[in-house]
Amino acid sequence: MARELKKMGVVCGIVLLLNMWCMAQAEPQVPCYFIFGDSLVDNGNNNQLQSLARANYLPYGIDFAGGPTGRFSNGKTTVDVVAELLGFDDYIPPYVTASGQDILKGVNYASAAAGIREETGQQLGGRITFRGQVRNYQNTVSQVVNLLGDENSASNYLSKCIYSIGMGSNDYLNNYFMPLFYSTGSQYTPEQYADVLLRDYSEQLRILYQYGARKMVLFGVGQIGCSPNELAQNSPDGSTCVQRINSAIQIFNNKLKSLVNELNSNFADARFILVDSYGIFQEIINSPSSFGFRVTNTGCCGVGRNNGQITCLPLQTPCPNRDEYLFWDAFHPTEAGNAIIGRRAYSAQSASDSYPIDINRLAQL
């Protein structure tokens, strides 16, 4: 009897291990996740470019399992957090290294300093503009067709995937509000500039649609006027956000929401949603302690006033209490900040976090 019980115990143990293995191998909510954006989500595409906008050195990645990868943070980015929540067992690879079967789970095309406009960020050197990222995606689609055998199979596959697009920050930070390098600030009012940006943005979204994208997540532009860089340069006390910049961003975000409504009306077989990054940041800045933050106006790593004059220097020693800082450097959130945006984009805590639905519900459609 004791021997039989021992056998049963061994069998039960094996079954339990198999169940745990099966759970670990569970399929993600969607077959693939494609990412377009700038330094907020770049995970290595700029590493091989002649660019000042690179982060493939310590202390960047100090808290990331793979060390410095090109991510502009101490750890995970917003899309890394979303990928985890969607059930992917690894992060989405950058376009520069993605190949073979790997592309079937998605590709990250994001490039630091990139904008909607072609000239945006050019003072920093090489970058892959939104238009260039969409072209790279078109190349990927050709590879997906080859891997799956025909266009119908590829279209059906891609229609189930999530597409994350976060563009516009650099069109303000490294264009409109940089009069020494760009004339857009004198050419356009903030209202006109937002219209020009969204016309070009919409054109690229329509190309993504033509190449199979049906579930698109648009991330609104965050509160650039509250970044350590802008506080260092334009805030009288180093803590009051720069309102003229935030006002222009709000105009863009409001028009982006209207674009989401328009696209959802025009494309019945697609769904577009908008993540209110600006509003979520506003909550954090208004009540930092509620989110576990102690410092919201200074970078954990950087140089000068607010650690906001330039980004982290190679091998610079960052602050030890990184989870208490909203910003990692002059422009980019810490992993702790990214985690809040990512979690609320995936599962909205308030109706305004993600409009009209969140990523979790979008994945289920």
pLDDT, residue 116, reads 98
| pLDDT in single tens digits along all 365 residues of the chain | 444 444 444 444 444 444 444 444 589 999 999 999 999 999 999 999 999 999 999 999 999 998 999 999 999 999 999 999 999 999 999 999 999 999 999 999 999 999 999 999 999 999 999 999 999 999 999 999 999 999 999 999 999 999 999 999 999 999 999 999 999 999 999 999 999 999 999 999 999 999 999 999 999 999 999 999 999 999 999 999 999 999 999 999 999 999 999 999 999 999 999 999 999 999 999 999 999 999 999 999 999 999 988 889 999 999 999 999 999 999 999 999 999 999 999 999 999 999 999 999 999 99
pLDDT, residue 311, reads 87
pLDDT, residue 289, reads 97
Q: Of 348, 352, 191, 214, nearest to 282 (Cα)? A: 352
**Domain spanning 30-364: CATH superfamily:** SGNH hydrolase (3.40.50.1110)
H-state helical runs in the chain = 2-24, 78-86, 130-148, 151-158, 169-171, 184-187, 190-210, 228-234, 243-266, 277-286, 335-346, 359-364
Question: In the numeric block, which tokens belong to residue 279?
Answer: 């509003």
Q: What is the pTM of this model?
A: 0.92
Q: Label the pairing between strands 271-275 and 354-355.
A: antiparallel
**Residue linked to tokens 């490039």:** 111
* Residues annotated as catalytic (active site), given as ranges: 39, 329, 332
pLDDT, residue 23, reads 42
Domain spans of the chain, in order of start? 30-364
Model confidence pLDDT, tens digit, residues 117-172: 999 999 999 999 999 999 999 999 999 999 999 999 999 999 999 999 999 999 99
d(C-alpha 117, C-alpha 120), whole Å:
6
d(C-alpha 75, C-alpha 229), whole Å:
20
Number of Cβ atoms within 10 Å of the Cβ of 346? 25
pLDDT, residue 25, reads 57
Q: Coil, helix or strand for 152?
A: helix
